[in-house]
């Protein structure tokens, strides 16, 4: 088996490892040292993790980031430090839980644009420090709220008292744990996420993701460099202008001002240009002259996938 590991790789992350753990395992399995994810999943969460390998790492700012779609469960009546069940319960509601109609009505209020304070245990930076690192050392940092958009937040009661199922579609930067935390606060009983699975990011679906880090499954889940979906308009350059673009020269363009995906006449992605005043200037130029690292019979570590719905 011999594969150029360069492009986008979709992985169905299991519960347990961090997103960085998954990236490290992919590097070991493929021999491609240039690899990174486009957005983390918490260790207890499962589902779609998008990785970029080789020259594609330079496209991270331009790949689809939203909407993010999640499914999972939460439990009413409890509060934890992490807003999920990965930590012991810090408070337990005494008395009856809100009726189903009240839960649905309150959940509907979260749909739309608003602002959200991230969980105290999260990767958000505050004053140059990660919130989770500061919290683990007993340091409380007051994180500012940020703008979010919730496109959909559907909830249904589960089989056990206080257990609820949900599906949500949200903007990038939105924490499902914070939505559930704030729902519990609004209901006056507390709430925490019990399970969380990311099923989709924009056009990318977990159904196309690799569930293990076996080379044959990774190959099937690879999106080649030229086929990576980008949240950009595109333009095609002639052979002469293509050569000029990769050597840093500008060209005429009729594209509106802003970033543009630039391709040659055969559809190969040359990089990202910036259109301004009817001129196209190179901003990201992909090096297509040398092949990415090749795999030569490496033994792949296996991460067992969690494919059952939450």
Q: Higher confidence at residue 186 or residue 124?
A: 186
Work out the mean pLDDT of the chain and round it to a whole number.
88
Catalytic member of 12, 42, 182, 264 = 42
* Cross-strand partners of 200: 69, 205
CA distance 235 to 253: 8
Catalytic site includes residue 42 = yes
| Whether CATH 3.90.380.10 fits 234-285 | no
In the three-class reduction of DSSP (H, G, I as helix; E, B as strand; rest coil), residue 142 is classed as coil
In the three-class reduction of DSSP (H, G, I as helix; E, B as strand; rest coil), residue 58 is classed as helix
Residue 161 backbone dihedrals phi, psi, to 5 degrees:
-60, 130
Angle at which helices 176-187 and 100-108 pack, to 10 degrees?
130
Decide if pLDDT at 305 tops 70.
no
> Please, what's the b/e burial string for 202-236 (b: 16 or more CB within 10 A of its CB; e: otherwise)?
bebebeebbbbbbbebbeebbbebeebebebeebe
In this predicted structure, what is the pLDDT of residue 15? 96
- Picking from 18-27, 176-185, 299-308, which range would have the lowest pLDDT averaged per residue? 299-308
Q: What share of the chain is helix, strand, coil (3-state, %, to 5)?
A: 20, 35, 45
Q: 87-146: per-residue pLDDT in tens?
A: 889 999 999 999 999 999 999 999 999 999 888 766 666 656 655 555 565 556 667 789
DSSP-H helix ranges across the chain: 19-30, 100-108, 131-136, 176-187, 215-221, 239-246
Decide if pLDDT at 175 tops 90.
yes
> Which CATH superfamily is 68-201 part of?
Pseudouridine synthase (3.30.2350.10)
Length of the chain: 310
In this predicted structure, what is the pLDDT of residue 2? 42
Question: Are 39 and 278 within 8 A, CB to CB?
Answer: no
Average pLDDT over residues 183-192: 98
* Cross-strand partners of 273: 260, 282
User: In CATH, what number does 7-65+202-227 get?
Assistant: 3.30.2350.10
In this predicted structure, what is the pLDDT of residue 297? 29
Domain boundaries, the chain: 7-65+202-227, 68-201, 234-285
Instruction: Give pTM, 2 decimals.
Output: 0.87
Would 7-65+202-227 and 68-201 be classified into the same CATH topology? yes
């Amino acid at each position: 088996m011999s594969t150029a590991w360069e492009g986008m790789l979709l992985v169905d992350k299991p519960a347990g490892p961090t997103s960085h753990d998954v990236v490290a395992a992919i590097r070991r399995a493929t021999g491609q040292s240039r690899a990174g994810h486009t957005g983390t999943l918490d260790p207890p969460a499962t589902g779609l993790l998008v990785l970029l390998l080789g020259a594609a790492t330079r496209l991270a700012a331009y790949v689809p980031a939203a909407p993010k779609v999640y499914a999972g469960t939460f439990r009413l009546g409890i509060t934890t430090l992490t807003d999920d069940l990965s930590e012991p319960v810090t408070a337990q509601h005494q008395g009856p839980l809100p009726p189903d109609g009240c839960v649905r009505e309150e959940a509907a209020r979260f749909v739309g644009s608003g602002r959200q304070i991230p969980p105290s245990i999260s990767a958000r930076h505050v004053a140059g420090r990660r919130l989770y690192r500061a919290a683990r050392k007993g340091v409380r940092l007051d994180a500012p709220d940020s703008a979010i958009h919730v496109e959909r937040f559907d909830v249904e009661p589960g089989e056990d008292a206080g257990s609820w199922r949900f599906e949500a579609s949200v903007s990038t930067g939105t924490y499902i744990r914070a939505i559930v935390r704030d729902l519990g606060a609004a209901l006056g009983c507390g709430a925490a996420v019990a399970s969380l699975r990311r099923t989709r990011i924009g056009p990318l679906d977990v159904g196309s993701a690799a569930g293990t880090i076996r080379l044959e499954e990774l190959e099937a889940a690879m999106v080649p460099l030229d086929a990576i979906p980008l949240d950009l308009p595109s333009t095609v350059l002639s052979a002469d202008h293509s050569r000029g673009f990769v050597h840093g020269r500008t060209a005429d363009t009729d594209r509106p001002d802003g970033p543009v995906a630039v391709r040659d006449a055969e559809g190969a992605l040359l990089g990202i240009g910036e259109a301004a005043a009817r001129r196209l200037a190179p901003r990201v130029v992909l090096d297509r002259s040398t092949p990415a690292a090749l795999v030569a019979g490496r033994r792949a570590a296996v991460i067992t996938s969690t494919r059952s719905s939450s």
